[in-house]
Structure 1
Amino acid sequence: MANTYAYALLLRGINVGGHRKVPMADLRALLTELGHGGVRSYLQSGNAVFTSPERDERQLATAIERAIEGHFGFTVDCLVRGAPYLRAIVDDCPFPAAELEGRQLHVTYFSERVDPERLAGMDTAAHLPEQFRLGDRALYLYAPDGLGRSKLAEQLARPSLFKGIVATSRNWNTVLKLAEMTAASDTV
């Protein structure tokens, strides 16, 4: 039996306001049709876990993007991240996650490394106590009043800031759950 690796699939911008609907049952069926094993979804906001012998996250994401476009008729940016990476995101959190509510801490996952120079012009002191830190293809955001009220999140969401990079955010509860789900599925 070949080694299989556990991955989380993060879809960007689906099932929001009734647009770009991707039912999770259909997504699970599509991933299974692509030959992935142990397919499970989490919430309705575009999170799935699966196993595959494939080692290349970018190749997996591209194949899934093509399959989604073929099945649903619209494009969806996808990020695929392996179990060790997801565990490292949890372990490397620069904020006291255990002391915070899940709605106060978010991770934005990026398709590639973000050069800190992109963020050099931001007036971070103006947004305190809100803070952010860059990680490995990720940005950690501490927003004590939640994302919906965060002025810093508003600044970080400017389209020009991360131009050319796919980005999708998850709250800390989802970050933890995806790390847990992939750890349980990783057979390597």
Structure 2
Amino acid sequence: MTTFAVFLRGVNVGGVKVLMKDLASLLADGGFTEVRTLLASGNVVLESELSEAQAVQRRCNELLEERYGRSIPTLIYTREEILQLAQPFVLELPEPAAEHHGYLTLCESAADAAELCELARGLDPQPAVDVLGRALCWIVRKGQSTTDPLAKLTTAQARKRVITTRNHNTLVKLAAIIR
């Protein structure tokens, strides 16, 4: 069995709300084991007989589309990727650090993360950004996670590619589940 983290791009999709208890049941009934959800925002850890992330993604996407009648994109990350992303945040939070959050925009590929990083570096003022594997790492002041220019950029990019953003603390909690 192989451990994976599944991230739904959104839990409110075109008027359809995906509840975590329903998602856990759907994935368990679909052949996955040790299905555990975290928060109400589409974070799942599961075990699979499938060893390839792409195969897990196809199966999850099929199950979601069958159940909800529409495409609900997922991103699948390996145990190793989650443990890497959960390490101390790669960017130093500005002072006062308690007023800022580290965010990771999770991408399907390292190329997507690199492209997002280049787009972010074109913003004025230029934000602190870095790429870690398939994730763009960035910082936002608390309360501005939807209004920050980089947040707006990632929202616009989500219309063009499969990405989703999570707080670094969420990845730390997922890593604790995986360990």
Partner of 1:186: none
Offset at 1:106? 0.7
- 2-structure distance, mates of 1:118, 1:39: 31
Offset at 1:15? 2.6
What do residues 40-98 of structure 1 show as CA deviations (whole Å, max 9, x unaligned)?
Answer: 1111111111111321011101111011111111110011112111011123732136x
Which of structures 1 and 2 has the larger relative contact order (alpha carbons within 8 angstroms, sep 6+)? Answer: 1
Q: Partner of 1:127: helix, strand, or coil? A: coil
Q: Partner of 1:106: helix, strand, or coil? A: strand
> 72, 75, 81: which one pairs with 1:76?
72
Letter in 1 for 2:10: G
Partner of 2:45: 49
What do residues 137-188 of structure 1 show as CA deviations (whole Å, max 9, x unaligned)?
Answer: 110011134413312222343338x83x3101111221111121122xxxxx
Pair 1:23–1:157, CA change in 2 (3 A):
closer
Pair 1:64–1:126, CA change in 2 (3 A):
same
Contact kept in structure 2, 1:49 and 1:182, CA below 8 Å: yes
Partner of 1:111: 108
1:131 corresponds to 2:131: no
Partner of 2:155: 157
Contact kept in structure 1, 2:79 and 2:178, CA below 8 Å: yes
Partner of 2:165: 169
In structure 1, stretches of 5+ residues that fail to align are 184-188
More strand by share: 2
Pair 1:138–1:71, CA change in 2 (3 A):
same
Letter in 1 for 2:152: E
> 150, 175, 182: which one pairs with 2:178?
182
Contact kept in structure 2, 1:20 and 1:74, CA below 8 Å: no
What do residues 99-137 of structure 1 show as CA deviations (whole Å, max 9, x unaligned)?
Answer: 945961110110112263565465557235x42112211
Letter in 2 for 1:50: L
Contact kept in structure 2, 1:58 and 1:79, CA below 8 Å: no
- 2-structure distance, mates of 1:125, 1:73: 38
Q: Is the deviation greater in 87-96 or in 34-43?
A: 87-96
> 22, 28, 39: which one pairs with 1:26?
22
- 2-structure distance, mates of 1:159, 1:125: 14
- 2-structure distance, mates of 1:117, 1:109: 12
Partner of 1:11: 8
- 1-structure distance, mates of 2:98, 2:171: 13
In structure 2, stretches of 5+ residues that fail to align are none
- Superposition RMSD in Å: 2.7
Contact kept in structure 2, 1:127 and 1:151, CA below 8 Å: no
TM-score normalised by L of structure 1: 0.80
Q: Identity rate of aligned residues, in percent?
A: 25
Pair 1:35–1:155, CA change in 2 (3 A):
closer
